[in-house]
Amino acid sequence: MTAIDASHSGLSATRAAFRTCRFTGLKVDIAAQRLIMANAVAAVVFLAVGGLMGLLVALTRWPAVHLLPSEWFYLVLTGHGANVLLFWIIFFEIAILYFASAVLLGSRIAAPKTAWAGFVLMVVGAILTNVAVFQGDSSVMFTSYPPMQAAPNFYLGLIVFAVGALIGVGIFFATLVVAHGEKTYEGSIPLVTFGALTAAIIAVFTLASGAIILIPTWLWSLGLIAEIDPLMYKVIWWGMGHSSQQINVAAHVSVWYAIGALTIGAKPLSEKVSRTAFLLYIFFLQLASAHHLLADPGMSATWKIVNTSYLMYLAVLGSLIHGLTVPGALEAAQRRNGFTKGAFEWLRKAPWGNPAFSGMFLSLVMFGFIGGISGVVLGTEQLNLLMHNTIYVPGHFHGTVVAGTTLAFMAMTYYVLPLIFQRDVIWPKLARWQPYLFGIGAGGISLFMMGAGTLGVPRRHWDMTLTDSMHPFDLPSGGFLMMGLNGMAAVIAAAGGILYILITVGTVLWGKRLDKGEAPLTFPLHKKAATVAEYGSHATVKLPGTIILVSIFFLSFVLYYFVNWKYLSEIWLLR
Amino acid sequence: MAITPPSNRLWWNEPIERVEIGWIVVAFLWGLFMFFFMIAWHFIGGQNLSTETYRITPAAYEQKVIDFAEKYQVGEEVGTPVVRPPVGEDVYLLARLWEWWPLLELKKDQSYRIHLSSLDWQHGFSLQPVNINISVHPGYEQIITLTPTQAGDFGIACNEYCGIGHHLMTGRIRVTE
């Protein structure tokens, strides 16, 4: 290092204040820590608002309860989508980006003041959109398809929020550059940071798509542009809408790896394979806009097939790889921890009482079995006809975004609280149950909505009895049963969600302070998490448990895929 | 560990586990199969959504549907004409806030070219209980060739949110032997 470099880094070191985490040995930039805390708190606030709205939606769609009047139902459903799918998830993702860059690399965060400006923009945007929704003239659903029009502030809020998020993503990239330049780590960035980098790269594409379509739509709502083509809008809007779900996938897969490392000391089976899987996301996930246009006019079959399959399912391949390497890494770690009996001792004796581990594992299983399989089936060109815009679609994405992403983020919170907020988790007994409660509820709503959708129940629909319409007809009674079960599952999920909010807020306010004294963690880290020196890929290990689990998954996938082709072959002929 | 830099700086030179290679091959081949099966269904399957689409103004489309309905009307229900087009004739259906218009009567096992478009917002053609679901846009006229294979009354719901009366929007196709 030259003298100039040394003085430069010395200068920045005086500007940034650090503490050393006594549990992990990580060097934590105080400015980064504050930003992570602010983004996490904002995330939880919007989860509380959006989650409550979700419960109201589910209770209205429960035929026997039918809670809200129709105007309120459509208003609340619009707010539910924006608050949980955008605000909760993206605030939490910005927190993850700062954690994966500044904290994991032991670096100062780049330009903290700009990062705060981004945070303020995100908060202002989120509030602006919420106000527009509650004023009542923006019940256009989260997707806001033209020619249906919302109030200008509905779009403006989303644009301002996206600009703020883009600044956060920029801070992440800049922090990587700073860490690299100041040599705060050796060799390559950790796998979790690599996953976060994947999420950030996809986020740039996504937010750019959002800007390209929402800015003209906003101008249109102000009367400055005459027309927005509905088909063009859908193509570009879903470049944001679906691709942003791939930010979630990259982020929550990173969280899976991180929690595996923190709780049982898991290392990737092979860095090369896991990183290549993330790389496949970057290359191919952006094609997903097509998933929303399979039943639309105008697109050729070739366009649909190439795009909907992410060019021959290469992004799905990325997820399938993680589907083996994540449980594989867990099994290998547990075997190294001494649980070597039979095929499944490693799983039986996993730390199921630690909500971070249980939440992560439930998220992994449900994302794969429910969200993943249903996503591929739904995204198959012809099969889409069977479920397009039925409530099967929300069933699918509650499997990915609620049972997958949200549950993974909740699990991660049980380490964000002690390691970043430096407060020990309160009510450990309740915390132990929280992921199960939320997981069962989220899995339930996904499956029951999928069931109702295969019976033809439409999505975003206030009255499935259709009794007030001009030419009423009956939807299958099984659909009503499914929507009732969905309501019950939503109540369970809401209980888990409320518990999460209470534990989180309670811990931040009243949890035992960990920055002073030597108190241990209620939910301990694996001892390997404290030794930064020991890392790298596993030596060759046999993984019979993982092979069995993955085989079960693959058989379910193939079976479900062909069952749907059989259904399709029985409907009216179309060409 | 996944949260620390790889210990081997040349991690891309490390060998890959056999179980990983095996799964990657299986998953890749399965992806290829699913990809080519979509293409194959265009040749072996009876259910493929046509992509024949034309640009049209809502007013022009409305006129076409009105002309069609007047020509082949056989009755009326709750103010909506019931239309029985001859076999092989082009059939027009429009979506608007909040109805599918007109009501149709088709013959089982006969093919019809069905035109679909919206006069205002986006709508979702959802034929039940068959469960065929197609998006309908304003400004685009899509033509699908449909062959009913069952007789009876089939409802059309709207499954693309279209404002406050979305849940009131229905229509019907009656299929006779």
pLDDT digits (tens, 9 = 90+) for A444-455: 999 999 999 999
Q: Does B6 touch chain A (CB under 8 A)?
A: yes
The pLDDT tens digits of the residues spanning A416-470 come to 999 999 999 999 999 999 999 999 999 999 999 999 999 999 999 999 999 999 9
CA-CA distance, A29 to A18, in Å (whole number)?
Answer: 4
In this structure, the strands spanning A18-20 and B112-118 are: unpaired
Task: Please report the pLDDT score of residue A244 as a whole number.
Answer: 87
- pTM for the structure as a whole: 0.94
The four Cα atoms B32, B33, B35, B37 give a dihedral, to 10 degrees, of 160
Residue A5 has a pLDDT of: 43
User: How many angstroms separate the CA atoms of A66 and A89, rounded?
Assistant: 28
Can you tell me the distance from the alpha carbon of B73 to that of A280, in angstroms, rounded to the nearest whole number? 56
Whether B34 has its CB under 8 Å from any CB of chain A: the answer is yes
Query: What ipTM is given for this predicted complex?
Result: 0.96
Instruction: Look at B4 and A532 and tell me if their CB atoms are within 8 Å.
Output: yes
Residue B99 reports pLDDT greater than 80: yes
> Which of B49, B83, B158 to mutate: most A Cβ within 10 Å?
B49
Residue B164 at interface with chain A, using a CB cutoff of 8 Å? yes
**How many Cβ atoms sit within 10 Å of the Cβ of residue A474?**
14
The model's confidence at residue A4, banded by pLDDT at 50, 70 and 90, is: very low
Tokens, residue B127 = 């034929």
Whether A208 has a pLDDT exceeding 70, the answer reads yes
Between residues 131 and 160 of chain B, which touch chain A (CB distance below 8 Å)? 131-142, 144-150, 153-155, 157-160
Across the interface, of A71, A192, A568, the residue whose CB is closest to B47 is A568
Name which of A48-57, A515-524, B64-73 the model is least confident about.
Answer: A515-524
Cβ pair B38:A190 closer than 8 A: no
In the predicted model, what is the mean pLDDT of chain A? 93
Q: Across residues B58-69, what is the average pLDDT?
A: 98
Nearest-Cα distance to chain A for B31, in Å, is 5
Q: Does B80 touch chain A (CB under 8 A)?
A: yes
Q: Do A261 and B2 touch (CB under 8 A)?
A: yes
Q: Count Cα neighbours of A163 within 13 Å in the Cβ-side half-sphere.
A: 13
pLDDT band at residue A6, thresholds of 50, 70 and 90?
A: very low
B43 has a chain A CB within 8 A of its CB? no
Tell me if chain A has a CB within 8 Å of the CB of B33: no
The pLDDT of residue A1 = 34
CA quadruple B13, B19, B22, B27: dihedral, nearest 10: -100
Is A541 exposed, middle or buried (CB count within 10 Å of its CB: 0-12, 13-18, 19+)? middle
Which of B96, B56, B131 is CA-nearest to residue A295?
B131
User: Would you place residue A312 in the very low, low, confident or very high pLDDT band (cuts 50, 70, 90)?
Assistant: confident
Provide the pLDDT for residue A513: 93
* pLDDT > 50? residue A532: no
Distance CA B19, CA A551 (A): 12
- Per-residue pLDDT of A270-299, as tens digits, reads 899 999 999 999 998 888 889 999 999 989
Q: Which of B30, B39, B51 sits opposite A300 (nearest CB)?
A: B51
Can you give the pLDDT at residue A3?
Answer: 40
Number of inter-chain CB pairs under 8 A, A vs B: 336
Give contacts of B33 with chain A, Cβ < 8 Å.
Answer: none
Q: What are the pLDDT digits (tens) for A345-400?
A: 999 999 999 999 999 999 999 999 999 999 999 999 999 999 999 999 999 999 99
Residue B14 CB burial class (10 angstroms; 0-12, 13-18, ≥19):
middle
Amino acid A121: pLDDT = 98
Chain A contact for B24, CB < 8 A?
Answer: yes
Q: What percent of chain A stands above pLDDT 70?
A: 95
| DSSP 8-state secondary structure symbol assigned to residue A266 | -
Instruction: Indicate yes or no: CB of B169 within 8 angstroms of CB of A469.
Output: yes
pLDDT at residue number A349: 96
Do B173 and A471 contact (CB within 8 A), yes or no? no
DSSP secondary structure of A313-356: HHHHHHHHHHHHHHHHHHHHHHHHTT--STTTHHHHTS-TTSHH
Q: Which tens digit of pLDDT belongs to each residue from A113-168?
A: 999 999 999 999 999 999 999 999 999 999 999 999 999 999 999 999 999 999 99
- The predicted structure's pLDDT at residue A529: 59
Q: Report yes or no: B16 at the A interface, CB cutoff 8 Å.
A: yes
Note which residues in 97-116 of chain B have CB less than 8 A from chain A: 98-99, 103, 111, 116
Sign of torsion over alpha carbons A77, A82, A87, A90: positive
Task: Please state the domain extents for chain B.
Answer: 16-44, 53-176
B158-176 mean pLDDT: 97
Residue B11 has its nearest CB partner, among A188, A308, A476, at A188
CB atoms within 10 A of CB B92: 26
For each of the domains in chain A, give its residue range(s) and CATH number, in order of start. 23-465+473-516+536-569 (1.20.210.10)
Q: Classify domain B53-176 at the CATH class level.
A: mainly beta
Give the model's pLDDT for residue A539.
53
